Structure formats: C-alpha cells, structure tokens
C-alpha cells in the first residue's frame, strides 16, 4: 500500500501493482494499481502504450457496487490486469449479481470481457453496437486507421503489417462473453441530469447511467454513477481532438462541455477517464475540461495558419507543423506519440474541409471549389 496524490489535493490509498512507472504527469503508478474512491468504488489503473518495448496500453477500469450489484466499466487487457480486476471486485463486495459495461470497442478496453463468465453470479454485459465489427475484426479497423498516416508517422512496415503488429500486443483478447449483448438491444431512454438531456440507458434502478457520446469513436459511451457522483469519461477525455478514423470532433467536444456543466451544477463530484491516472474533483474537473476545449480551439487556429490563405498543403508539412503546435499546447492526449498525433492531424484536415487531390502518397490537400456545377452524382 502507498499513499499517492492524484490531483486536486486528493490523497488516496493505492494498492500497488508490480513494476511501477512514472507517467508523463510525474505520478508513480503501476499496471493494476487500485485507487479506492470510496468503500464500494475502485479505479483500476492501466498503463501507457510503448510499442518499441512491446507493451500495450491498458485502459483504466472502474469497479463499483450498487447494493447487491457489481458494476464493472471496461476490463482493459492482459492477465495481470485481469487479476487486478478480480481483486477490485472482491474489495467492493459483497455482491450477488454483476453488470459489465463496455464504453467502446478499442482493444485496450475489452480484452478481459469474458471475465464476466467467471464471476459465478447472474451477469449482464453490454457493448456498443457500432463498435462490434472492430471488436470482431480489429486488424482491418487499424489498417484503415494507419493507412491514413503512412509516410506521416513512423510505422513498423506497411499499414496492414503495422496493424498486425499493433494488434498482437493486446493479448489475450476476449472481447465477448456468454452474456454479451449490445446496448442498442434495449429501448433507448431520454435521461435528464440537472439541466442536461442525454440519450442512453439506465441500470440498477437508475443509479447507473450510460450516456451516448460517440466522439472518440462511433459507439463510445460515458458512464455516470449517480450514487457516488463519479463521471467516467473513458476516452472522450483523451486529448482535445479525436485521432481515430471514426472519431467525431463535434461530438467529442460537445460531451466535454456537457461534462463540465454536470460538475458546475454539482450533478457529478469526481471525474475519471480511461488513460490519465488522476482523480479530479469539482472545480478542478471543470478547469481540466475547459482546458481541453481551449486546446481544441487553439489547435484549430494553428491548423488554419498552417494551411494558409490558399488552403492547400501537403499532409507531411501539415503534420510536422501540427505536431509542433500540439507539443507547445501540451495537447498530445494521454498517450502522446507521433502516430496518434499524425492521425489527429489528418482528422483536422478533414474538419477544415480539405480533401486529398489524388490517391498518391503525400498528395496535396485543398478545399473543393465552392461553385454550382452540373456533374455526375458522387
């Protein structure tokens, strides 16, 4: 056991995992550390991505108990993290039923989903329908994502080969269990929290609210635990702009603003997410979320300057300038790397309305001519 300061002056008990590392924020953590939020809520800490050393990133997981129900939000990946999840589940007990909620389908969040089958109690497990294909077939999803940055970021080979190498880091990978269903098999609910309206699904008599956000990727949800005041953003807070091929910048930034409002209205007390090893409470959470939105607008302004008045630029030159702007703003996200920042840069070009002029590698991007033309339908 060690005492760790995790933001906002919050001093918490951490049950230490093996192999501690110092994160980018200077906090000493290790894969599988348990941060006790209260007697029935634990944050299980993951780890950062290190492709060079063959180490996958592992997303944080949230373990909570509502009356007799164990609630587990995401399951990370790797056998050591699975062991930590079991320890956290025992720590928040007792429980006689379980609910596993998957926030989205990325590999670092879903590898131990079959743990639900081993709990020995009635279990429900839900995943987002838009992410099922990438959960079943992660290599094509990552091949498409990496193909956009071929030549813009160092990859261990062509996109398909790089995707295979990346996916191979996340083992064992068991994203589905015997009880897995999609959220979308349940009737969609209109959920009001304070002055805000969301759509999503409620569980455990309304104490657990799954809110559709769909910014970081197509199926993303966030989770609000009303009885303990925790808002878990998962990867919606992983930087000010989305990197993935199915990211939606507007939705991502909208949910950051909505999350800030929840804290301002005291509808949430503690902010957690998938990749920063910090707990943020009250005003500190608002400041953090506002900071992400400020970074988003600053990056968009920097992107406009890079494209210039003519709005035409090669993606290699744009990515180099974008990397410098992101570094200056500290806007690299929770897993800063040239690969992810390059993916974000390509998304930013799309968001500015630019399109590649040809399929050639590093072909210039420019804005389509805005005039009425009689042409074929495309």
CATH number for 143:
3.60.15.10
> What DSSP string describes 157-202?
SSHHHHHHHHHHTS-S-B---TTEEEGGGSPPEEEEETTEEEEEEE
Predicted pLDDT at 301: 95
Predicted pLDDT at 370: 78
Residue 45 belongs to some domain of the structure:
yes
Residue 22 belongs to some domain of the structure:
yes
Q: Which two tokens stand for residue 173?
A: 């990978």
pTM as predicted: 0.92
Residue 153 belongs to some domain of the structure:
yes
Residue 316 belongs to some domain of the structure:
no
Separation between Cα atoms, residue 59 and residue 131, nearest integer Å: 17
Separation between Cα atoms, residue 326 and residue 295, nearest integer Å: 8
Residue 339 belongs to some domain of the structure:
no
Residue 124 belongs to some domain of the structure:
yes
Predicted pLDDT at 312: 92
Predicted pLDDT at 371: 73
73 near 101, Cβ under 8 Å? Answer: yes
87 near 106, Cβ under 8 Å? Answer: no
For residue 249, the SS3 value is helix
Evaluate the CA torsion angle 161, 162, 165, 171 in order and state its sign: negative
- Mean pLDDT, contiguous 10-residue spans, the chain (378 residues): 42 49 57 96 95 93 98 98 98 97 98 97 98 98 95 91 96 97 98 98 98 98 97 94 94 98 98 94 97 96 92 94 92 79 94 92 90 62
Predicted pLDDT at 23: 44
Residue 354, C-beta contacts closer than 8 angstroms, at least 6 positions apart: 307, 311, 313, 365, 366, 367
For residue 43, the SS3 value is strand
Residue 190 belongs to some domain of the structure:
yes
Residue 234 belongs to some domain of the structure:
yes
Q: The domain containing residue 177 runs over which residues?
A: 2-294
For residue 100, the SS3 value is strand
Q: Number of structural domains, the chain?
A: 1
Separation between Cα atoms, residue 279 and residue 181, nearest integer Å: 30
């Amino acid at each position: 056991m060690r005492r760790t300061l995790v933001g906002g002056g919050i001093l918490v008990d951490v049950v230490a995992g093996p192999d501690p590392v110092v994160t980018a924020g200077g906090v000493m953590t290790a894969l599988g550390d348990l941060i006790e939020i209260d007697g029935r809520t634990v944050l299980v800490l993951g780890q950062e991505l290190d492709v060079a050393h063959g180490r996958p990133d592992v997303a944080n997981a949230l373990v909570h108990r509502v009356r007799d129900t164990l609630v587990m939000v995401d399951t990370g990946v790797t056998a050591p993290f699975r062991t930590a999840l079991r320890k956290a589940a025992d720590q928040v007990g007792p429980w006689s039923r379980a609910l596993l909620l998957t926030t989205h389908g990325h590999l670092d969040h879903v590898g131990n989903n079959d743990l639900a089958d081993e709990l020995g109690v009635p279990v429900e497990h839900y995943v987002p329908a838009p992410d099922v294909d990438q959960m079943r077939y992660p290599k094509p999803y990552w091949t498409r994502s990496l193909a956009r940055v071929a030549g813009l970021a160092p990859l261990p080979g062509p996109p398909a080969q790089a995707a295979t190498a990346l996916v191979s880091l996340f083992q064992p990978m068991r994203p589905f269990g015997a009880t897995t269903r999609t959220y979308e098999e349940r009737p969609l609910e209109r959920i009001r929290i304070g002055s805000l309206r969301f759509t999503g699904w409620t569980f455990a008599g309304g104490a657990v609210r799954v809110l559709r956000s769909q910014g970081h990727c197509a199926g993303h949800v966030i989770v609000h635990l009303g009885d303990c005041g925790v808002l878990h953003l998962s990867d919606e807070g992983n930087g000010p702009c989305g990197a993935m091929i199915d990211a939606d910048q507007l939705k991502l930034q909208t949910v950051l603003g909505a999350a800030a409002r929840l804290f301002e209205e005291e509808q949430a007390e503690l902010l957690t997410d998938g990749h920063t090893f910090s707990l943020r409470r009250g005003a500190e959470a608002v400041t953090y979320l506002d900071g992400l939105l400020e970074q988003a607008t600053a990056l968009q302004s920097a992107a406009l300057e890079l494209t210039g008045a003519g709005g035409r630029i090669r993606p290699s030159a744009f990515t180099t300038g974008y990397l410098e702007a992101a570094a200056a703003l500290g806007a690299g996200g929770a897993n800063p790397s040239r690969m992810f920042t390059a993916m974000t840069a390509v998304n930013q070009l799309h968001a500015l309305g630019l399109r590649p002029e040809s399929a050639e590698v590093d072909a210039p991007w420019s804005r389509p001519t805005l005039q009425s033309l009689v042409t074929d339908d495309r």
